[in-house]
Amino acid sequence: MYTRRPTIAADKAQNWAYTEYFITEIEAVRDARARAEEFGISAVSPGTGAALRLVAAALKAHSVAEVGTGTGVSGLWLLDGMVPDGVLTTIDVEVEHQRAAKEAFAAAGIRPTRTRPISGRALDVLPRLADDAYDLVFIDADPAEASDYANQAIRMLRSGGALAVTDALWHDRVADPARRDEDTVAMRELGKALREDERLIPALLPTGDGLLVAVKR
């Protein structure tokens, strides 16, 4: 049976830009984003943040783990979607970044008991986190290690929980097979691996720089 691919309209870029800023960020998120720029690190886009909040809310997430705290932009979005007493475990190797994130959480009125910041390498921390205990695991980190993080995340997730990986399109390079740099190949291979993993129900969302989401069966 022949399947016709949808036609990409000429104004698709305008539509994507519109959806990216469809949800307005609160002041605390905007301030955290400004701090990220000061540190020279990238934060999830507003569209990606809104999608993460939506997934957390749909799951009624109580326990969420995040790889890549940054200055708290993604954490604020996740916390806003979680149940009121939900706890975010957030991992980052940079202590200064986590200090900025704590300030962002406090500015947003987040109770300290709702966040569990852990300083250290994710590959050292993740194996110590419990099996089948998390509703959502979000990965925003080095593409070279994203596959290892994802494998740990699948172990950590409960049945029906979700894995989310940002930068899945990696600067719009993943869709171009001619792009063979290390980071692009790593993200392309991660997408294929999750797509073919029978334990997962995946989807690739064209928000931000690509958000790869997979639900654990």
Residue type, 152: Q
Q: What is the mean pLDDT of residues 33-55?
A: 97
Instruction: Say what the pLDDT of residue 1 is.
Output: 44
Beta pairing partners, 87: 63
Percent of the chain beyond pLDDT 70? 95
Q: What is the mean pLDDT of residues 25-48?
A: 97
Instruction: Say what the pLDDT of residue 16 is.
Output: 86
Instruction: Say what the pLDDT of residue 2 is.
Output: 45
User: Is residue 5 in a domain?
Assistant: no
Instruction: Say what the pLDDT of residue 11 is.
Output: 73
Range of the domain at 88: 12-216
Please say if the pLDDT value at position 55 is more than 50: yes
User: Is residue 64 in a domain?
Assistant: yes
Q: What is the mean pLDDT of residues 110-136?
A: 97
Provide the pairing of β-strand 211-216 with 115-119.
unpaired
User: Is residue 121 in a domain?
Assistant: yes
Which SS3 state, helix, strand or coil, does residue 11 take?
A: coil
Which pTM was predicted?
0.94
Residue with tokens 């049976």: 1
Instruction: Say what the pLDDT of residue 12 is.
Output: 80
CATH of the domain at 99: 3.40.50.150
Instruction: Say what the pLDDT of residue 5 is.
Output: 60
What tokens does 178 get? 């001619």
Which SS3 state, helix, strand or coil, does residue 67 take?
A: strand
